[in-house]
Structure 1
């Protein structure tokens, strides 16, 4: 395959999962596992969901698809009558995106969707890097593929050597290109020379360390429409452009371009510039340039799919991805416009202000990357809820507060359990500075999965009609259930030391923490992780 023929519009580059009983166009070939952008949009009503294995690539690709969907559905601006919501419902009623508009869009920008474009503009890449970077000091494909080790980094999913790197397929490289644009690390990168000045330092990508939340429907068509954010009044579609739609490449010596609306806000915020180097037939990538996009400048972090909260220093930042925090613990922050969550003052992602207008049976999918601002990556996060957006505050103001109280009780006894086992350990070893981390980890591993199951069981019992105050929430029974789970976890973890008098006394005294303890005792026990602490970038 010549390098100038791999066009993302029609090449099978996006993994999908089809809805059950979807008939194939070609009965002999069956349904493909991967499709190009055109077929994905034309058959979005037949596709259940994206099947992207890496959560950060999934989150990045959704933002690209939202931007294209808004364009082909004529939902890029409010319109003279401010009827954006009604026009979105009209598209929903049609049951599919119009083929003529999809084809017209890709005909207009066909030359901008080539993954490799010698002499042209490859998709989401900067061809100037071939001249501005040292060809003998490229990043390499192991650096490009985020699940591979590179340099002196530890192996994560697989073992690879820089001296004998296995070239990724073009479709794999395409998804990792997206991950770098949204989740790329800060710190040293390949040197890039612009206007006679060479530098090699990049700032972190716009979604690095963050967890994003997306409404998810029964089909990809519903998911894409629900994920659209209404453009602000005054946004003009011809100005709110994606990178591949803009006439010129950005100037790395100038401040980053300001966003003109939701489409540019979610696709034009990369802090990294990349250029893929294909092999001879264009089926694989043999090398990659990865460097900074803007010298010494960082775009303001703006995104409509994040929970924004305020640190103790008064700084606004997105809720970080944390592998130890289950999705149900964020549910009231997704449903309530002003959730009661302590000093963090979380703000509901803007997409959820209007997502439920598409369907009340929407689920929430959380996608992210537990990582630090620079090189350290820990784990992908991909979690989803049952259908919950019918409980959104705009739809059901009487029931949603019960969801908040349900979450608060589950977290309350999780914190008390953490405090109790730490106090028991410190008393048992007679060392006030002992943190009891091992016991706390064991207790959390026992409590939180069971608390999650309890949360969803009681969530499903809430009344959605609005006829019953607080949705029928039973605070006493709920409290009793979470107390029982905390007691069971506490007893299981501390049991080994209760065979001695000292151990039994320490466990007995610390048990009071499960029921509130005393202020004097609380001050001597290390507190659990503070979610209001702003992560380092």
Structure 2
């Protein structure tokens, strides 16, 4: 089969960060191929992918590869999947013979460019099915570049003089499109005489994914594996590059047969990269739809799933203004107390802690709209928290939820108070006070996050202390103090006038819960609104 020269197995395509003291006979490279990445995952501290969506997408690819080479694709006749994962963990590295055997079997499927062949995660039929004079271009392939009328993020580029990205850059851009590609108009594709130019959104678009993270990439990959359901077969649970035939774009997409196909084969977009003469850069790209009709059902084991008021299940959206600690109880608790949304813990966290109790949580996502608007990458991590998982310590973890609730309670009260103060000061009941609210939030939330982690670290992990030593009264006072300080700082400029001082003074009561409606007209009454007691 004709192939190109850039094979992801051995070409340096993945940026990595090595562990201090990693054994080597020479200088450690800053990028490695997939083979070396798996073989030396125990020497690698983490991936060094700068773009959060590319990082999240690549992790799902690596989970699928790890499960295959480690022999963890099925439950097994004895249902001993957990024990077999621990055996791999005890070996302290992935089996080299299995890694080499796998890449020998699928070597021709990992060429990034394969003229006349089948390039990795691409559809070579697009060269004939799409208009060669109306390609997407490389600026659209790399989401951090401006294309068309889009604004610039990190650099200025022009479609008329686009700089070809390197093959390794294009590899990561390809992943972002498969997982986070937008819905709407795309390049026209003609299949069996029918032409269409409309694509559905990628499976992770707008979502925030959560990944357990260990002290090495080896530990991270093992912790990130999801136990396959009973009945899952390695021969059926295949990744796209393992399938014998390319998907039929004229029919509904293939049904997922297990974790590997679920996390690698749900793209709604089809792409084809056009290399330069040396196959070191990409000079153009086709980007279009992969399947017609409705969007594939969203299935993923690394998302927090919620229920809308209409009863629809949806993943918690990525929000650049929301700190990771506010999601912590939804990650540790199987049934977190979070109102009507009924958040469901990502399935991966039900078993990740068996790899290590010192795992951190890495949140990766893309704050964006379902159509074309992209706002901001999200990349955040916690200290080692999974030792507090509910199945490990049922007495301590509820305290994490109450700690988070109190932090958010006073954040909401602060927002309400400054908006009310602004409306009273401007004497406009319709004034939304957005400027004050934004400044107050910018002052409160970073301090509240620091307070949360300081108190989180003090929680008892032995299980001998009731509620993990959580002190609700002291916690309320701490968060209230932060809200008061933010409120005073934001409203201080208007307190020099009588009208401003009166507005600020009256609205301040919202920090303490406000006046109960049935007592609002009684002078001299103090608020009896109850706060969470923890």
TM score, norm. by length of structure 1: 0.96
Per the alignment, residue 332 of structure 1 pairs with 329
- Aligned: 1:225 with 2:222: yes
| Deviation per residue, 1:401-447 (Å, 9 max, x gap) | 00000000000000000000000000000011000000000000000
1:458 is matched with which residue: 455, 458, 478? Answer: 455
2:369 maps to 372
How far the C-alpha of 1:228 sits from its partner, in A, is 0.1
Matched, 1:72 2:66: no
Q: Find the residue that maps to 1:15 and give its secondary structure.
A: strand
Q: Is this contact kept in 2: 1:225–1:358, CA < 8 A? A: yes
Q: Secondary structure at the match of 1:422?
A: helix
Deviation at 1:189, TM superposition (A): 0.0
What's 1:381 paired with? 378
Please state how far the C-alpha of 1:519 moved relative to its aligned partner.
5.0
SS of residue paired to 1:367: strand
The SS at the match of 2:4 is helix
**For 2:487, which of 477, 487, 490 is the aligned residue?**
490
CA distance in 2, matches of 1:111, 1:14: 19
What residue number does 2:150 align with? 153
2:428 paired residue number = 431
Which of 165, 169, 182 matches 1:185?
182
Partner of 2:411: 414
Residue number in structure 1 paired with 2:532: none
Equivalent pair of 2:211/2:363 in contact (CA under 8 Å): yes
SS at match of 1:67: helix
Does the CA contact (< 8 Å) of 1:369 and 1:377 recur in 2? yes
Q: Secondary structure at the match of 2:203?
A: coil
Contact 1:332-1:339 within 8 A present in 2 as well = yes
Residue 139 (structure 1) aligns with: 136
Measured in 1, the distance between the counterparts of 2:420 and 2:461 equals 41
Q: Determine if contact 1:3/1:280 at 8 Å carries over to the other structure.
A: no
CA displacement at 1:354 relative to structure 2? 0.3
User: In structure 2, how many angstroms separate the alpha carbons of the residues matched to 1:440 and 1:110?
Assistant: 56
Is residue 2:283 matched to residue 1:286? yes
Shift of 1:486: 0.2
Are 2:29 and 1:32 equivalent residues in the alignment?
A: yes
- Residue pairs, 1:504-519, within 5 angstroms: 504-518=501-515
Listed as ranges, the matches of 1:38-53 within 5 Å are 38-53=35-50
Q: Distance in 2 between matches of 1:72 and 1:98?
A: 7
Matched, 1:21 2:21: yes
Q: What is the RMSD computed on CA atoms of the aligned residues?
A: 1.2
Supply the distance in 2 between the matched residues of 1:223 and 1:501 (Cα, whole angstroms): 59
SS of 1:4's equivalent?
coil
Cα distance, 1:3 vs structure 2:
7.2
1:358 counterpart residue number: 355
Secondary structure of residue in 2 paired with 1:87: helix
Distance 1:117 1:324 in 2: 42
Tell me the SS of whatever aligns to 1:200: strand
Contact 1:256 1:298 in 2 (8 A): no
Instruction: Give the conservation status (yes or no) of the 8 Å contact 1:3–1:278.
Output: no
Q: CA deviation at 1:84?
A: 0.3
Counterpart in the other structure of 2:441:
444
8 Å Cα contact 1:3-1:281 kept in structure 2: no
Contact 1:322 1:370 (8 Å CA) reproduced: yes
Alpha carbons 1:3, 1:282 under 8 Å: kept:
no
> What are structure 2's unaligned runs of at least 5 residues?
521-534
Q: Which of 82, 86, 91 is the matching residue for 2:83? A: 86
Equivalent position of 2:310 in the other structure:
313
- TM superposition shift of 1:263: 0.2
- Name the SS for the 1:403 alignment partner: helix
**In structure 1, what is the equivalent of residue 523 of structure 2?**
none
Partner Cα distance (2:397, 2:356) in 1: 17
Q: Secondary structure at the match of 1:137?
A: coil
The answer for the alignment partner of 2:96 in structure 1 is: 99
* SS in structure 2 at match of 1:5: coil
* CA distance, structure 2, for counterparts of residue 253 and residue 422 of structure 1: 53
When normalised by structure 2's length, the TM-score is 0.96
Over residues 227-249 of structure 1, what are the superposed CA-to-partner deviations in whole Å (9 max), with x where a residue is unaligned?
00000001011100000000000
Q: CA deviation at 1:296?
A: 1.6
| Equivalent residue number for residue 342 of structure 1 | 339
**1:25-78 Cα shifts (integer Å, max 9, x gaps):** 3x2xx0000000000000000000000000000000000000000000000010
Superposed displacement of residue 314, structure 1: 1.1
2:3–2:108 Cα contact (<8 Å) kept: no
267, 270, 273: which is aligned to 1:273?
270
Deviations 1:211-269 (A, max 9, x none): 00000000000000000000000101110000000000000010010000000000000
8 Å Cα contact 2:12/2:31 also seen in 1: yes
Deviation at 1:518, TM superposition (A): 2.8
Rounded to whole Å, the distance in 1 between the matches of 2:144 and 2:391 is 40
Deviation at 1:117, TM superposition (A): 0.3
Instruction: Determine the C-alpha separation between the residues in 1 that align with 2:222 and 2:24.
Output: 24
Q: Separation in 2 of the partners of 1:112 and 1:505?
A: 71
How many Å apart are 1:23 and its aligned residue? Answer: 2.5
**Aligned partner of residue 412 in structure 1, secondary structure:** helix
- Per-residue deviation at 1:520? 4.8
Matched, 1:402 2:399: yes
1:10 aligns with 2:10: yes
* Cα distance per residue 1:366-398 (max 9 Å; x no partner): 000000011100000000000000000000000
Does structure 2 conserve the Cα–Cα contact (< 8 Å) formed by 1:148 and 1:155? yes
| Cα deviation code 1:94-126 (max 9, x no counterpart) | 000010000000000000000000111000000
Shift of 1:297: 3.1
